[in-house]
Structure 1
Amino acid sequence: MKKLILAGLLATMMSSAPVLAAATATPAQTAAATAQIQKEAADVMQVAVQGANAMRDIQFARLALFHGEPASAKKLTDDAATLLKDDSADWKKFVKTDAKAKMIDDQYVIINATVALSEDYIATPAKESAIKSANEKMAKGDQKGAMDTLRLAGIGVMENQYLMPLNQTRKAVAQAQKLLADGKYYEANLVLKGAEDGIVVDSEMFAASN
């Protein structure tokens, strides 16, 4: 699958960003809107990085247990707990509320996203030009315009968002910390695996226009 944009949350950030200023906006209004988009982008990336790093530590902790290094597993699990407890990232502002799969009383935080061209994509000069135009619009924060450009050119797009259930992951990591402290390494590995398996992939297909 040919990638248009990889990782980062660029697609997610753009979808939540305000619409571009109208043509009648003053330079000051345009500058203010741009500054707001940039701030939101920085906030989204902070949340994404913390969530992704916490999940990375969970994965490495399991690997450390597999290799018989419980001390390393404990440190990595503690690091994950610290990242997940840090509310400076303001998780609630970037919780996805319309995920297709949810658990009761949880918050799904987007920690990664990909946008890719459809599997049946065949390059043509017209489609390559459309992709270039879509990338330019995406860079300006106009995700809708970018998607419309691709669809009208007959290019289907698939968006995948990787959602971490914040409450469940926090509980799993805390439980793993206790199990590791008690020397119950096998049980801790299972709990950490459960945290990994809790990631939900929310996919949406933007079909090509006929």
Structure 2
Amino acid sequence: MKNITISIFAVITVFIAASCNQSSTKNNELSENNTTATSGEQAPSQSKVNDTVPLPATPDTSIGKNAGETATGGFSIAPIVADYLSLKNALVSDDANAAADAGKKLFATLNKVDMKTVPADNHKKYMDITDDIKENAEHIGDNAGKIDHQREHLASLSEDISDLITLFGSPQALYQDHCPMFNDGKGAIWLSESKAIKNPYYGSKMITCGMVEKTFN
């Protein structure tokens, strides 16, 4: 009986070893095939690929609420939003000089936009909004030593950016925050890339004053 048990155990051991070797051989063959395809040698035919792995769907380039970019071949509000966020963050840090630099950069970015790429059906609305953005960005850029004045223009600028995002969609996840105390209790909004409240209207004095009232994307 002991000999029979040993024999059965030996057979099972041989079977497991053979299975592992086969699995290892298959992995090596897959690795070699991947290496061959990567190094420039002829990869498996497209028909074989289609038989085994479904190809990814063609990206939808239509204009969507949260697209941030249109199908017109390059128009995107992403650079505008990025410059706005830099300006807002400078005011969060109470840095009037950095805010002025960011305002000038935002103004320059708007002037570089190829108007031919802006969708025709939103062309006029875009012009109306960005004319206001330019005006506020210019005021902020020209008043490096007057942070209170910069913050007044940030309130208007933030409304403009929110309108632009509503029109073209957000290029990234954004939060629209509200400060109820600014402007003599009339309140003001700002856009943030972070859910945590960091108030650009009061900076270090009341950094957490405010609340999230809307999210984009």
The structure in which a higher percent of residues are strand is: 1
TM range, normalised to the smaller chain? 0.3 to 0.5
Higher Rg of the two aligned structures: 2
> Which structure has more RCO (C-alpha within 8 Å, separation ≥ 6)?
1
TM-score, normalised via structure 1 length: 0.40
TM-score, normalised via structure 2 length: 0.38
